[in-house]
Structure 1
Amino acid sequence: MTFEALRRRHLQMDETQDASRRADLKAGAIMMASNIRANSGKRVGTVPGVEIGDIFYFRMELCVIGLHAPSMGGIDYMTTKFGKDEDSVAICIVSAGGYENEDDDTDVLVYSGQGGNNRNTEERHDQKLERGNLALERSLHRKNEIRVVRGFKDPFCLTGKIYIYDGLYKIHESWKERTKYGVNCFKYKLLREPGQRDGAALWKMTQRWIDNPATRGRVLLADLSSKAEILPVCLVNEVDHEKGPVHFTYTNQVKYLRPLSSMKKLQGCGCQSVCLPGDASCACGQHNGGDLPFSSSGLLSCRKPIVYECGESCNCSTNCRNRVTQKGSRLHFEVFRTTNRGWGLRCWEPIRAGSFICEVSTYVSPDEFEPLPVKISAKNMGNVSRFMNHSCSPNVFWQPVQYDHGDDGHPHIMFFALKHIPPMTELTYDYGVAGAESSGSGSRRTKNCVCGSQNCRGLF
């Protein structure tokens, strides 16, 4: 979380200075130099704090959490003791498409050794049994567990990759094979250790659902939103015999009795085509403290008291990077039955930290029309956000956003990803601290918390 927040902030600053060094490398270097990292020592087996299915968008992220030390190489290895003997064995590999690896089977991985695969034809050569290749060969004989990280194409970025930690494997076989380039390559067949939760298998399953939603089983309702959302919202129960949530009116808009025309207007920008980072004449940039709040890929750079998007009064086009939440959500949501908290919300796609998830849609009556702090309520009307449960360790946060009026006391409430969220992970946010005073009405009603987090407060 620290790495990604630092990377996005540096990316925001670098865009105004036309910096050449990549923001992910800069963030990683700062964290390494400041010793802000986890699990600095190498180890065989699992890494504390890293769960199977966790996703990463940069190789440097794997380094700072101690999952895979090399920022470029695909094989991480170390010298460790086996009884009275010492041996150099592999501890983690990244299968990301750089070599001819076979990874269609989610429980089997045929991994190619390193070296000799240079793009320059004259520099290609047979692989040598040294360094990482030798460590893999020794792991075959030592039968030690090896962490496997698999790389997949980022569905939201044509050139990007997503790295998924897929758990522990062991090498069962090795051989030499001549590649299509005519050089000899080492091959290692790894089998996934049984009894582990799904990692890459879950990823591939959700990708099939995205390609063809009809392949998703145990569906109660194909679209809970009745086409109100851009993409259908699936309703699923794999726990008990409940047929669905209590009746409510689905809406993806905030509806006020007080018309927007009676509210203060938001000053627009005069930018031609799109707003640009570092443009001192951009009124929307000035509203946001001098920086555009979103990256070129639509990620929120950092939390703010209020984010100001471009609106109808702006001269820029609809393709402006400062128009994100107003375009609505483009995720495949699934409302599902939890084991102990009623209905919950999750998503088929991976969600990157800083990504817009959805808006809080509800009906606001005159007596509820109070300025911040915000009370979120969607008892009778709402959208997918009404199914988002509480957690004391949430993966989502709410952010006030303005774009269609200038009354800062009554903003839109948007949900963003607090950290990278793997597919089929329940989306949760923090409802608030038990006993905290609300504006002018004493203390809120408390409930026992069953979020299961290590940081659970017991009440919310």
Structure 2
Amino acid sequence: MDYNSLLPFPDLNHLPSTSSTSPTPLIVPKIEPKLEPLDETLPSPLPPAAPPALDLFSEYNRLCGLFQSTIPGGIQPNGAVSALPNSHPDSLALVPVPDPNPNLSDVVVLSPPGSGRKLPNRSAEMVRITDLKAEDELYFRDTVRKTRMLFESLRIFAIVEDEKRRDTLGANRRTRGDLKAAAIMRERGLWINRDKRIVGSMPGVLVGDAFFFRMELCVIGLHGQAQAGIDYVPSSQSSNGEPIATSIIVSGGYEDDEDSGDVIVYTGHGGQDNHGRQVMHQKLECGNLALERSMHYGVEVRVIRGFKYEGSANGKVYVYDGLYKIVDTWFDVGKSGFGVFKFKLIRIENQVEMGSSIFKFAVSLRTQPLGARPRGYISLDLSNKKENFPVFFFNDVDMDHSPMYCDYLVTTVFPPYVYNVGRGNGCNCAGGCLDDCLCAMKNGGEFAYDLQGILVRGKPLIFECGPHCSCPPTCRNRVTQKGVRNRFEVFRSKETGWGVRSLDLIPAGSFICEFAGVVLTREQAQIFTMNGDRLVYPSRFTGNWKQWGNLSEVFSDYACPESPSVPPLDFAMDVSRMRNIACYLSHSTSSNVMVQFVLYDHNNLSFPHVMLFAMENIPPLRELSLDYGVADESNMGKLAICN
């Protein structure tokens, strides 16, 4: 990294004022952080920590048990949690809301029982990172991506482990996997961007990035408050003794908020009751004062928008929308008749389009594509109704309509002899598969997916229940065979040629589609190559599946799954005339899609299905990319899949 990109934040004592506005505080306010609704309901009560052991699950239980040590009074006999100090009275989280007192603004979430060791506080040293080189941007993006992948892997792992103890926890109790994942990562020092307080753009985070949990924002440092809507450097830690705001979350939690996209009228914190009603006057302190001081010194703030989103892990999503300047602030009478501070923010120019705007545009495309884009659509269903959802075909770049002339494949075509291996070998779970069924044993004694169909961790090969199994179509071990669950669009790009993007938000670990083609033997492939046909070699795909669910940074005894093993894949797939949307994915060494081999309709280990899964949360209309492993200049000049 070029350390010239890391600029110390200017001394605020020597900056000229950019505003003459000086609001007057009122008397007798209620002081509390600007709280936002929690992501989920109350987590399940945790059983006592297991005795120390060297295996992975014992270590997981030990770390989960640390939650009880952080709850004053512990968990009550009826399963309720004692009130946390400085928490909102209506809060149901297991982490305390940061104290509005500037001297106690950074609360330690975890510490080993009896050790007395405190985790290091978040730094108050402010820096601005500018003019990163291309390799630095890739480095930071990869760091953020791996951190988020670890968070998501831990969250899913925690939920799956608690599912196994459902009888103890109660069938109606939902697990707060996000809190467990964040706490374990903080305990292990895996939170990032804490050694410096970054002002402005966060390296490695792109405008439009989507998050399902507030704790994930804390883990990567984009917004450092677990529930408060204003993140700031408190006056006790600031170099000039004045608080400075660095980011805000806009989610409509205050009735006086106004949001028109590029312009926001943001209501300060304080004065609300447990039901979100304004019942007292606000005061110019803490986050309110930090926003006013940021306006005074011309300091930009990051804006994250939170809104409801059907199909997300908890019914909402948070989207990073870029940098805003605070241009005005005033004291006003709110809708409830009490005094509130208002801050006018304007989005800084020359940034890419807001992620929240793209979300709204994607909704209009799903419902009225021709109304949202009058020109450019060649077909509204490239699959000819073969997929669960129509596949749009869009090209406003040139007159190339070649995808229209290919037969659309939903799944790979295997030679007939492939199905003669292990025929009739299936489970007998008539009511649904259990942890000890035959198919679970094939997968190493565990299911590959959680109850929502999210991949728990990558494996060399996954066995799904197939036509010879007795379990119903709703079985949790039938995921990829059901086809696509999102709406996709094949499009033409000046930069990458053909590409694929989704009209939906794809959660990390979700199944995307199969990489479909016609399977050829080595001898057949040699003949087809001489004819100039385009061939895909599954053995050349990189093993990115090893990264998904990799908990080696958390558990010292973690081992990458080596079974079920797959023999060397000695076949190719012809995609020259018959293909599906996967064949249009762009190549990238920092891809957001990975390959996972799956068997379900036959048991021939030498011929698995090539299934694609999301490695991160992929926002609507963001291009999907895949690491093909071997660079190649053929096939439309971009896909590295051809011989």
- 1:93 equivalent in alignment to 2:290: no
- 1:416 equivalent in alignment to 2:570: no
Deviation at 1:164, TM superposition (A): 0.7
Range that drifts further, 47-56 or 366-375? 366-375
In structure 1, list runs of 5 or more residues that go unmatched: 435-444, 452-456
- In the aligned structure 1, how far is the partner of 2:274 from the partner of 2:524? 64
What SS does the aligned partner of 1:292 have? coil
Which residue of structure 2 lines up, in the alignment, with residue 247 of structure 1? 405
More helix by share: 2
Which residue of structure 2 lines up, in the alignment, with residue 232 of structure 1? 390
Instruction: Provide closer, same or farther for how the CA distance between residues 34 and 150 of structure 1 changes in structure 2, counting only shifts above 3 A.
Output: same
- In the aligned structure 2, how far is the partner of 1:231 from the partner of 1:162? 23
Deviation at 1:148, TM superposition (A): 0.2
TM-score using structure 1 length: 0.86
Percent of residue pairs identical: 42
Query: Where in structure 2 are the equivalents of 1:156-235 lying within 5 Å?
Result: 156-157=311-312, 159-179=314-334, 183-199=338-354, 200-217=356-373, 218-235=376-393
- 1:17 equivalent in alignment to 2:172: no
What SS does the aligned partner of 1:303 have? coil
Which residue of structure 1 lines up, in the alignment, with residue 260 of structure 2? 105
- 1:26 equivalent in alignment to 2:174: no
Which residue of structure 2 lines up, in the alignment, with residue 48 of structure 1? 203
1:295–1:301: 8 Å Cα contact kept in structure 2?
yes
- In the aligned structure 2, how far is the partner of 1:249 from the partner of 1:195? 42
1:229-267 deviations in Å (ceiling 9; x for gaps)? 222211112333434447321121222331665232363
Which of 392, 404, 416 aligns to 2:601? It is 404
Which residue of structure 2 lines up, in the alignment, with residue 440 of structure 1? none
Instruction: Provide closer, same or farther for how the CA distance between residues 123 and 100 of structure 1 changes in structure 2, counting only shifts above 3 A.
Output: closer
In structure 2, list runs of 5 or more residues that go unmatched: 1-148, 526-537, 539-566
- In the aligned structure 1, how far is the partner of 2:608 from the partner of 2:280? 62
Instruction: Provide closer, same or farther for how the CA distance between residues 347 and 103 of structure 1 changes in structure 2, counting only shifts above 3 A.
Output: farther
Structure possessing the higher radius of gyration over alpha carbons: 2
What SS does the aligned partner of 2:288 have? helix
Matched residue type, 2:589: C
Deviation at 1:446, TM superposition (A): 6.7
Instruction: Provide closer, same or farther for how the CA distance between residues 340 and 46 of structure 1 changes in structure 2, counting only shifts above 3 A.
Output: closer
What SS does the aligned partner of 2:507 have? coil
Instruction: Provide closer, same or farther for how the CA distance between residues 34 and 253 of structure 1 changes in structure 2, counting only shifts above 3 A.
Output: same
- 1:140 equivalent in alignment to 2:298: no
- In the aligned structure 1, how far is the partner of 2:181 from the partner of 2:573? 35
1:267–1:283: 8 Å Cα contact kept in structure 2?
no
Which residue of structure 2 lines up, in the alignment, with residue 126 of structure 1? 281
Range that drifts further, 303-312 or 409-418? 303-312
Instruction: Provide closer, same or farther for how the CA distance between residues 368 and 359 of structure 1 changes in structure 2, counting only shifts above 3 A.
Output: farther
What SS does the aligned partner of 1:69 have? coil
1:306–1:402: 8 Å Cα contact kept in structure 2?
yes
Range that drifts further, 359-368 or 97-106? 97-106
More strand by share: 1
Instruction: Provide closer, same or farther for how the CA distance between residues 84 and 409 of structure 1 changes in structure 2, counting only shifts above 3 A.
Output: closer
Which residue of structure 2 lines up, in the alignment, with residue 268 of structure 1? 426
How many pairs are equivalent?
Answer: 440
Matched residue type, 1:25: L
- In the aligned structure 2, how far is the partner of 1:196 from the partner of 1:260? 52
- In the aligned structure 2, how far is the partner of 1:21 from the partner of 1:233? 36
- In the aligned structure 2, how far is the partner of 1:43 from the partner of 1:353? 26
Instruction: Provide closer, same or farther for how the CA distance between residues 123 and 21 of structure 1 changes in structure 2, counting only shifts above 3 A.
Output: farther
Deviation at 1:80, TM superposition (A): 8.4
Deviation at 1:450, TM superposition (A): 9.0
- 1:4 equivalent in alignment to 2:152: yes
What SS does the aligned partner of 1:255 have? coil
Query: Where in structure 2 are the equivalents of 1:300-311 lying within 5 Å?
Result: 300-311=455-466
Which of 221, 225, 247 aligns to 1:66? It is 221
Matched residue type, 1:420: N
1:384-434 deviations in Å (ceiling 9; x for gaps)? 011012111111011111222222221211100011112211111111145
Deviation at 1:100, TM superposition (A): 2.8
What SS does the aligned partner of 1:209 have? helix
1:235–1:244: 8 Å Cα contact kept in structure 2?
no
Query: Where in structure 2 are the equivalents of 1:313-352 lying within 5 Å?
Result: 313-352=468-507
1:296-351 deviations in Å (ceiling 9; x for gaps)? 22111110111122223333222222221111102121111122432111111121
Deviation at 1:291, TM superposition (A): 1.8
- In the aligned structure 1, how far is the partner of 2:457 from the partner of 2:512? 15
2:253–2:276: 8 Å Cα contact kept in structure 1?
no
- In the aligned structure 2, how far is the partner of 1:184 from the partner of 1:269? 66
Query: Where in structure 2 are the equivalents of 1:368-447 lying within 5 Å?
Result: 372-373=568-569, 375-433=572-630
1:92–1:147: 8 Å Cα contact kept in structure 2?
yes
